[in-house]
Each structure stands twice: as structure tokens, then as C-alpha cells.
């Protein structure tokens, strides 16, 4: 007969959603995915960095090409994605990064499927001219132009994103094995340096060299180099934030639980 004073084994376990590590992973995954999806959709806009900052144009001259500092609006969010990748890598390892990366890729595809479905819907006649006062002559055409990104651009972005993420996690853990738990900045920026080198060149190659625009090699190399330089500057600028986020997570989880997660992450 079971002793009534003996606690049930179920009372000794923590409910799944009461576990802080589980809640943290859900929050990080959600923030990672929403930033990745938003970056894809707002990336259709190209902005002039010099005009935005109110400074004189900085004309770069690379590979025989000359241009100003123009980037997609998605660059506002991709540095946050890099940061989230490093945080998840640190605590949840390869499996965690791969899981959120594939989830983000599937959500991006899901979003574009419904964006194209929305474009295909027959617009209400009054809606087409509803924004003429704001200078939009045809709301349907504007909607299609903003949300109907070219398939080559979508394909290039997805392929580059997944390649970059898989390379990032591999380099991150290679540096971690070499340095142990020291030099958080080195594995964060080092993994970003390699992964974004691939990402920056692959996305433009697929979208604009293989795609219908067929950029010349010199233009492809010049624009890719400028984009890569921007991403690396952003990654370096985020190093202090990495340490702040890391400190906040340790306070939230507790030193012992955070150390346990880092140990598990380092093994796979």
C-alpha cells in the first residue's frame, strides 16, 4: 500500500510552461521568426543611408562600379536576427538554431503564399482609387508591387538565409570548442563574419545574376561587398548588446540553470 506521506512523482516535476528555459526559448524563437519574416516583407524598400542621416553622399568605387550607400529596409532587422541566432546558439545549441531557422523559413514561405493569394483577389472598385488623395493612383497596383516580390528574389533570400544560418551555427561551435566559455564576442562576430559573407553574395547572385536582371559580375561584386561591410559593422556595433542580453538571461534563469543550458548546447 502506498504511503500517503510519499509525494506523488508528478508533484516533483515542473510543468513544461513553468520552466523558465522553455519559456525563454519560445520567446526567443517568436522574436527571431517575426524579425526574419518582417525583414523579408519590408526589404522591398530601398533607402538611401546618406539622405536618411542627412549627410553628403559617400560615393563608393569598387570593381569599376560607383554608387551611393543604398540598402534594403530589411537591414534594419537582420542585425537583430544575427543577435537572436547567437543567443539561441549559446543556450540551445545547434538543434535550437536549426529549429528556429527552419521554422522562420517556413513562415516566410507561408507569408508569401498568402501575399500572392491576396494580390490575386479581385479588388473592390472603390478601393482601387481610395488612396488617390495620398498620391496612390491605383491601390491594387501599389499593393501588388509592394507584396509581390519577384520569385528570384524570394528564392535567393531563402537559400541565402538557410545557408547563412547553418554556417553560422557550425562556425560558432568551432570557435566555442577552441576558446571554451571565454570570448563571447569572438564567437558571435566570428560566426557572423563567415555566415554573412556567404549570405551577402548568395542572395544577390541568385536574385540579380541568375535572375532576369542579369547583373554584370562587377556590379554583383561591388554591391555584395558594400552589403557585407554594412552587416559586419552592424554585428560589431551589437557586441555590447550581446553582453547585456546575456547578463539579463542569466539573471532570469539563474547562474546554475544558464550554465547547465550552455553545457548542453556545447555538446550538440
Q: Is residue 3 part of a domain?
A: no
pLDDT given at position 268:
63
Q: What is the mean pLDDT of residues 194-210?
A: 91
pLDDT given at position 37:
93
Give per-residue pLDDT as tens, 95-120: 999 999 999 999 999 999 999 999 99
Q: Is residue 38 part of a domain?
A: yes
Whether 1 shows a pLDDT value over 50: the answer reads: no
> How many Å apart are CA 45 and CA 38, to the nearest integer?
12
Q: Is residue 2 part of a domain?
A: no
Whether 229 shows a pLDDT value over 70: the answer reads: yes
What is the total count of domains within the chain? 1
- pLDDT, mean over the chain: 88
Residue 91 burial (CB count, 10 A): 23
> How many Å apart are CA 232 and CA 79, to the nearest integer?
9
Q: Is residue 62 part of a domain?
A: no
* Stretch among 4-18, 39-53, 64-78, 133-147 having the lowest mean pLDDT: 4-18
Q: What is the mean pLDDT of residues 178-199?
A: 87
Whether 179 shows a pLDDT value over 90: the answer reads: no
pLDDT given at position 101:
95
Whether 6 shows a pLDDT value over 70: the answer reads: no
Q: Is residue 241 part of a domain?
A: yes
Find the angle CA(204)-CA(202)-CA(95) to the nearest 5 degrees.
Answer: 135
pLDDT given at position 98:
93
pLDDT given at position 72:
85
pLDDT given at position 11:
44
Whether 49 shows a pLDDT value over 90: the answer reads: no
Residue 29 burial (CB count, 10 A): 18
Question: Are 97 and 103 a contacting pair, CB within 8 Å?
Answer: no
Q: What is the mean pLDDT of residues 132-138?
A: 92
Q: What is the mean pLDDT of residues 139-156?
A: 89
Domain housing 78:
32-46+73-112+151-266
The residue that leads in pLDDT, 211 or 10, is 211
Q: What is the mean pLDDT of residues 24-33?
A: 95
pLDDT given at position 3:
52
Whether 250 shows a pLDDT value over 90: the answer reads: yes
The residue that leads in pLDDT, 4 or 226, is 226
pLDDT given at position 14:
66
Q: What is the mean pLDDT of residues 58-65?
A: 84
DSSP state of 122: P
The residue that leads in pLDDT, 4 or 201, is 201
Local confidence band at 256 (pLDDT 50, 70, 90 cut-offs) = very high
- Strands of 37-126, DSSP E: 46-48, 60-62, 65-67, 70-72
Q: Is residue 122 part of a domain?
A: no
Q: Is residue 145 part of a domain?
A: no
Q: Is residue 8 part of a domain?
A: no
Backbone angles phi, psi at 140, to 5 degrees: -65, -45
> How many Å apart are CA 126 and CA 128, to the nearest integer?
6
Amino acid at each position: 500500500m502506498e504511503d500517503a506521506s510519499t509525494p506523488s512523482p508528478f508533484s516533483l516535476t515542473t510543468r513544461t510552461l513553468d520552466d523558465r528555459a522553455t519559456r525563454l526559448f519560445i520567446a526567443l524563437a517568436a522574436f527571431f521568426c517575426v524579425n526574419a519574416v518582417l525583414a523579408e516583407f519590408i526589404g522591398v524598400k530601398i533607402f538611401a543611408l546618406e539622405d536618411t542621416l542627412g549627410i553628403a553622399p559617400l560615393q563608393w568605387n569598387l570593381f569599376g562600379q560607383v554608387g551611393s550607400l543604398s540598402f534594403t529596409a530589411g537591414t534594419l532587422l537582420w542585425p537583430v536576427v544575427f543577435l537572436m541566432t547567437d543567443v539561441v546558439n549559446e543556450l540551445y545549441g545547434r538543434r535550437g538554431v536549426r529549429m528556429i531557422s527552419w521554422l522562420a523559413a517556413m513562415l516566410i514561405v507561408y507569408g508569401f503564399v498568402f501575399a500572392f493569394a491576396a494580390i490575386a483577389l479581385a479588388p473592390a472598385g472603390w478601393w482601387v482609387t481610395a488612396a488617390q488623395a495620398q498620391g496612390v493612383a491605383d491601390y491594387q497596383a501599389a499593393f501588388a508591387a509592394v507584396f509581390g516580390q519577384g520569385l528570384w528574389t524570394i528564392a535567393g533570400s531563402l537559400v541565402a538565409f538557410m545557408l547563412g544560418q547553418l554556417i553560422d551555427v557550425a562556425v560558432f561551435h568551432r570557435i566555442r570548442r577552441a576558446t571554451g566559455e571565454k570570448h563571447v564576442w569572438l564567437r558571435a562576430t566570428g560566426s557572423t563574419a563567415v555566415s554573412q559573407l556567404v549570405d551577402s553574395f548568395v542572395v544577390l547572385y541568385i536574385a540579380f545574376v541568375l535572375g532576369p536582371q542579369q547583373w554584370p559580375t562587377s556590379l554583383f561584386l561591388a554591391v555584395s561587398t558594400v552589403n557585407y561591410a554594412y552587416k559586419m559593422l552592424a554585428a560589431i556595433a551589437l557586441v555590447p548588446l550581446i553582453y547585456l542580453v546575456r547578463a539579463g538571461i542569466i539573471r532570469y534563469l539563474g547562474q546554475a540553470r544558464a550554465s547547465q543550458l550552455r553545457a548542453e548546447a556545447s555538446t550538440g
